[in-house]
Amino acid sequence: MLAERLRERGIRDERVLAAIARLDRAQFVPGASPEEAERDEPLYIGFGQTISQPYIVAYMTEVLAPHPGERILEIGTGSGYQAAVLAELGAEVYSVELVHELAEPTRERLRRMGYRQIHLCEGDGSKGWPEEAPFDGIVLTAAPEKIPEALLWQLRPGGRLLAPIGPQEDLQYLVLVRRDPQTGESAVERLLSVRFVPLTRPSSPTE
């Protein structure tokens, strides 16, 4: 039912729709009823974080267009829903989550669901995962005010990066960055206005 509603809203990639259909979103929203989980809206998952509405997850996945075997870096694991959608499409997913209280149960959830191709680490998402770079695609599920330079350097030539950009209290835009396979130069395309939680960084010891 959820996949059909997304089709009606304009999602056309059958692989993405099939991936959404195979997943039970309620498994990624502890405490939510099946009816709540099926709604096309963001839901609170604790610790100031949300799971994105299914349309945005589907749209971002469709734009990123991951192919089987590609290495995708996700910034902001949350409850693991976006990572699971990417894995359903055959991607090898490397996901970074700052909030320990989300990272641990999500790691266990994904392990229990059998996603051996999702690798999760705790840390500052703005720094990416340099030990595993370069990546064919990078997707951010939280909004920085500008794209961190470290992430651009971890994107393979020919790769693409998808991120919501802008301050929490102002208008944000979803942007697509493509790195030219020959020159390595980046081209930026603005897609649509969005609203995401901010990309946070660890507090310093003096804060």
Residue numbers annotated as active site: 52
**Distance between CA 50 and CA 43 in Å, rounded?**
5
Beta bridge partners of residue 73, listed in sequence order? 94, 138
Cβ neighbours around 192 below 10 Å, total? 12
- Calculated CA dihedral for residues 5, 6, 12, 18, nearest 10 degrees: -90
Nearest C-alpha neighbor of 158 from the set 139, 176, 137 = 137
Determine the length of the chain: 207
Q: List the alpha helices (DSSP H) in 133-173.
A: 149-153
Enter the tokens of residue 19: 């991936």
Q: Do 172 and 193 contact (CB within 8 A), yes or no?
A: yes
